A and B are shown apart, each in its own frame.
Chain A
Amino acid sequence: MAKRFQRLRKSQLVIPLFALLLLALFNLIRDPSFFSFNITVNNEGNSVLSGNIISILNSASELAIISIGMTLVTASSRGQDISVGAVAAIAGSVFVRVLKEHTINWPIILLAFVCACLVAVLCGAFNGTLVAGFGIQPMIATLILLTAGRPIAYWINGGATPTVESPLLGYIGSFIPGVPIPTPLLIVIVFAIFVSLVLRLTNLGLYTQAVGINEKSARLNGINAFGMKMLSFMILGICVSIAGCIGVSRMGLINHETLLLDIEMDAILAVAIGGNALSGGKFSITGSVIGAYIIQALTITLYAMKVPSTAVKAYKAIVIIAIVVLGSPVVQSFFLRLRNKMFPKPAKVEEKQAYAE
């Protein structure tokens, strides 16, 4: 137990967990009712859970999913994909376009989702080719789709802002009858389990990190560096299409201008808050997901404090600066020195033994 605590203290999750705790504490002092859960009956006549916590967990879903993919791209390519919002709009448009052409039932929704996925993965492959094949910096490479993405999304549905009316879509975007937990949250949970299984059952993590840390060495050990970068961009594509489809299902329409607008910045932020180096290499997906929830918790807290929505971003920025500075190497080493001064370590006997041989 003590050992596990030691490991946790050294891990990069300390700062994000601490920040989340602080945020919770702040809310607890400010207004304990912030944490209350209610059972309410919604428009469709389902009894569902509601409250601030649920609304945080629910509304952070798209961000959490995208930041999982963003973490992999960051780790392997030492840069970020800034086209995720635009690609989500494309994926969402494809999703709607397919639904529009058919009478909506579950197989059609699945088909539409698969189509959206394919298109988003294609966009990822496009980004991946520019980055891994042509050696263009990720931010520059993905700038292309960032600019072109939303116009393409507009074109897919012939210029309209189509709505899709179906209770089935409501099941995805809000609640499944009889289940009190919002569906987007369930999707995040399922996806997170899936990703952690992939990381456990394949070498995705090891290869991605090796490529991100030392590409030359990775290559000399037989790792296909091009392939790994490509793969990370394509996985991000899948993440983006899931997020895009959730976004569309929530609204029941596609607005190519506003769907997941500016989510790339929040996703990059989530990765950074999670303690991941934006210069690539070692990563923690858990950290990024926590980061995503911190960002959303912050937003909801600010709304609960009646901060006008136009000012929310400015307040958010202040808190985020604090978190990022707290996690910076300069501040970290300062704390380390402070601790060593206050609690001098006892003479290290075990280490001596380790070198005795």
Chain B
Amino acid sequence: MPNDIVLSMRNISKSFPGVRALHNVDFTLKSGEIHALMGENGAGKSTLIKVLTGVHPKDSGQITIAGSAKEVNIKSPQEAQNLGISTVYQEITLCPNLTVAENMYIGRGTYSFVSWGKMREKTTELLEKLNIPARATQQLSTCSLAVQQMVAIARAVDMDCKVLILDEPTSSLDEREVEKLFSLMRELKSRGVGIIFITHFLEQVYEVCDRITVLRNGELVGAYDIKDLPRVQLISKMMGKELDDITDLKNSRVSHVRAGTAPVYEAKGLSSAAGTRAFDFKIDQGEVNGFTGLLGSGRSESVRAIFGADKITSGKIFVNGKPAKIAKPRDAMKYGIGYLPEDRKQDGIVDDLSVRENIILALQVMRGFFRPFSKAEAEKFADEYIKLLGIKTASSDTPIKSLSGGNQQKAILARWLLTKPQYLILDEPTRGIDVGTKVEIQKLVLKLAEEGVSVTFISSEIEEMLRTCSRLIVMRDRKIVGELTQDDMTQAKIMHTIAGEAAQNG
């Protein structure tokens, strides 16, 4: 076995009740390489990582570390850590109620006594070195999601690791933060750390990675050098089909707005307790528009205000031209508005309930407390949408938490489609899900618009919004700074709109 191999996994298999997550998967990581682990949702990436880090015991297969022929049996994350395998998971796994310093050092070492001063000192040093805008004594929950993620990475980095696993670390970071993370990754690479990088952003893969391993449906497709695998081929390997579908979508942006009718939804001077400035907004029937802006610019807060998710502090609302009162989500639902929240885990799924119950939830609530669907009715609805959206689940009785991220997202989407909304708000529906599903969702949005449904679409990926929206509302610092339509809608123009305002302020 060559010496520069830091990790070798052979014939790894793992099954969960009803799902075969991994089947005879091989994976090799060399020191000083950044290795992308790619695959669609449910391909087995996260499971492979969890087997490696001892979260799930493997059913069969061997793992060897650092070139030694001796097989290791990793039974717990602690053990993996001791072997020099550190992980930063997709969802933040730190303790929000502890301070940054405590989070950095919790569960490390075998000491019985803690030197708080020293801990704070070392944390401050590391935070400064990595340019993380947080104080050691700050409670973690008061940091932004991005900073929390960076603290998690800093914690992993500090643990002298040979293998660093980054599971979707960039999905909540903005561009500058991603750049910072990449420079950190490159530095670690030069020190000989092997990095496993899981992401859905293809650009990022081609920016930092050296090799790619592709999984599909729990099986290994292959491992490739980055220069041997152009983007198009990577995608077709991940999806197991040709790529016409993706290119198809490019020019389908047509406005379906019908002239002469009152806007489906119109707000004047709307603001909410979550801290958006009062804004005006309207959407016509069959229109797809979007809110864009940097992370924290207030795009999510704006759509939440439309749905009444936060306390409304001011504003007049008109639905189909008539004055309407939307104070809570239930009100918005009565007016045929649906809202797919940004944070799927926190605000979207009800994780212990079945896929079926999750799908029918919104429609059931609209129908009323005293009129539950019969089991047969609920099953019919669920099965219809599981088939329509291609949700991969063992049955409609399976708890939604055992589905992969993209399939959970599809189920939440099904929940709102089932209510037959006239206006659907989708906040980051494609975050953290695979290319194939992304394209499906974009197509679905366009199809809905064709059928006369109005859609507000938010995405961090500007290309995606350019493809689907016919009007973009640009936000910065919690207020609307511009509106772009048709020909104005280019990446450059959007950047300019955000930056132009920045120049005036600075």
Contact = CB atoms under 8 A, between A and B. Distances in A.
A137 to B, nearest CB: 15
Interface in B359-378: 361-362, 364-366, 368-370, 372
A217 interface: yes
A273 interface: no
For the residues of A in contact with B, the DSSP-based class is: helix
A273 to B, nearest CB: 20
A219 B353 contact: no
Nearest to A223: B365
Interface in B204-246: 217
Interface string A201-214: 11110110110011
Contacts of A206: 353, 357, 361, 364, 372
Contacts of B351: 213-214
B282 interface: no
A355 interface: yes
A281 B341 CA distance: 21
A346 interface: no
A204 B366 CA distance: 14
A207 B328 CA distance: 17
Interface stretch (B121-129, B248-256, B265-273, B342-350): B342-350
Given A220-B339, A222-B333, A222-B366, A355 B217 contact: yes
A342 interface: no
Given A354-B394, A355-B217, A216 B361 contact: no
A239 to B, nearest CB: 20
B19 A351 contact: yes
B18 A218 contact: no
B309 interface: yes
A43 interface: no
Nearest to B339: A220
B493 interface: no
A210 B392 CA distance: 23
Interface in B370-412: 370, 372, 390, 392, 394
Given A207-B369, A210-B361, A351 B353 contact: no
Contact of A213 (B309, B341, B352): B352
A221 B329 contact: yes
Interface string A170-207: 00000000000000000000000000000011111011
B23 to A, nearest CB: 10
B353 A224 contact: no
Contacts of B348: 217, 220
Most chain-A CB neighbours within 10 Å: which of B217, B329, B341, B390?
A: B329
Contacts of B309: 219-220
A202 B20 contact: no
A222 B352 contact: no
Contacts of B370: 201-203
Interface of B: 15, 18-20, 217, 307, 309, 328-330, 333, 339, 341, 346-353, 357, 361-362, 364-366, 368-370, 372, 390, 392, 394, 415
13 contacts: A206-B357, A210-B353, A210-B357, A213-B350, A213-B352, A219-B309, A221-B362, A222-B329, A222-B366, A281-B352, A351-B18, A351-B394, A355-B392
